[in-house]
Structure 1
Amino acid sequence: MLSVVCTRLTMSGVYRASAFAFLLIFYGVFLTTEAQTPTPSPAPTHCASRSNSSCAECLHNVTCLWCSPTKQCIDYPVRNILPPSSVCPLSDARWGLCWVNFQILIITMSVLGGIIVIGLLVCCCRCCKCGRNGNKKEDAKVERQTRARKSRQKAKSTEMQLRHDEIRQKYGMAKDNPYARMNNH
């Protein structure tokens, strides 16, 4: 019962963080789909031909990267995950949406990833801690059983000793002094 309550309390915080992250991602995807209406392009054009135009016009093609200060539309450098600063500084580079720059995107994704990892670690630690409390209960039960077994053994040993003493008295072998040697009569 305690583990269920502990799990519910732990998971409620994790669920809130997960739900918040999901809502942020869903909101971003929703805005992305709303902001970019799909327009069929008759033929793909090179990004360089869209230079000195607008960011929105450049980013109609998903392979293009817009650099704000130079107003250049360039092919996205696919060999690199992030565009090198020689092509365009991260804070000025736009890809996908005109209002999202790479620097903010990297920071946001890092923070969200860190929150998810920390949430999972906290959840795992809490679950392990609740599991250890269950083991403590089992350990206490085993210890009680061991003590009961030892007390029964002690009672049987005492009973056996009394029986042996009665037999010694019956046959005249009782010792007045337990440390004295037994004499043959």
Structure 2
Amino acid sequence: MDNLRLLGRAMNPRISVAALLLGFGLATVLAQTPAPGVACEAKNGTSCEECLGNVSCLWCIPTKSCVTYPVKTILPPHSLCPLNDARWGKCWINFQILIITFAVIGGILIIAFLICLFCCCKCENFGGQRFEAKMQKQADKTRTRQQDRKAAMKVKHEEIRKKFGLTGPNPYSKFS
């Protein structure tokens, strides 16, 4: 969980920059409003480039017509212009392929995010349990070695006391 918090803190500047760029992009698009009195329909019979000079216009290839983009329906209806023949933004961008590409890229990003989220959570739980078990095993080994050393030192001290005849009461015990 701590790793996810750290990841969230590290990504905050990235998210802020992305939101800022998105805001500037939207402001740019919204700032490109048509000149007063010049509607997209007035550019019928002109070229695709001239029509798409205004972001609110949609060019239909078979009818060579420039129409105002129907923002309320999100996608232009087939009666207005078939998606395969609709151009918006740039004349070389096929609207149908653009939608399919964005859908595929969005799907891949969502799947990648879910896989990363799943792997991070699973690895964190699995690695954490394994790490805790390893640390516990190491602590047990250390405790066992320490007890063995203590017992060996006690035996050694007893042997030294016997050797020098100090098996009686310890004269320094009253200081302890």
TM-score, normalised to structure 1, is 0.52
Measured against aligned partners, the alpha-carbon deviations of 1:109-137 in whole angstroms (never above 9, x if no partner) come to 01111111121112112212221222233
Output the CA distance in 2 between the equivalents of 1:112 and 1:66: 25
Offset at residue 107 of structure 1 (A): 0.9
Among candidates 55, 58, 72, match of residue 51 of structure 2: 58
1:82 is paired with a residue whose SS is: coil
Residue equivalent to 1:133: 127
Amino acid in structure 2 at the alignment position of 1:74? V
Cα deviation per residue 1:3-40 (whole Å; 9 max; x = unaligned)? x9xxxxxxxxxxxxxxxxx9xxxxxx9xxxxxxxxx99
Give the aligned partner of residue 120 of structure 1. 113
Equivalent residue letter for 1:135: Q
- Number of residues of Structure 1 aligned to a counterpart in Structure 2: 114
Matches within 5 A, 1:157-176: none
Residue of 68, 90, 94 corresponding to 2:83: 90
Unaligned segments of structure 2, at least 5 residues: 4-17, 19-24, 26-31, 144-176
Normalised by the size of structure 2, how large is the TM-score? 0.54
Structure 1: state its 5+ residue gaps.
5-21, 23-28, 30-38, 149-185
What is the CA deviation profile of residues 17-67 of structure 1, one whole-angstrom value per residue up to 9, with x for unaligned ones?
xxxxx9xxxxxx9xxxxxxxxx99764511111111100011112111100
Quote the offset at 1:77 in angstroms.
1.1
Matched, 1:73 2:63: no
Q: Which has the higher contact order (CA 8 A, sep 6+)?
A: 1
Q: CA RMSD in A?
A: 3.2
Q: Percent identical across equivalent pairs?
A: 49
Alpha-carbon contact 1:44-1:61 (below 8 Å) kept: no
Q: Which runs of 4+ in 1 moved over 3 A?
A: 39-44, 139-146
Structure with bigger helix share is: 2
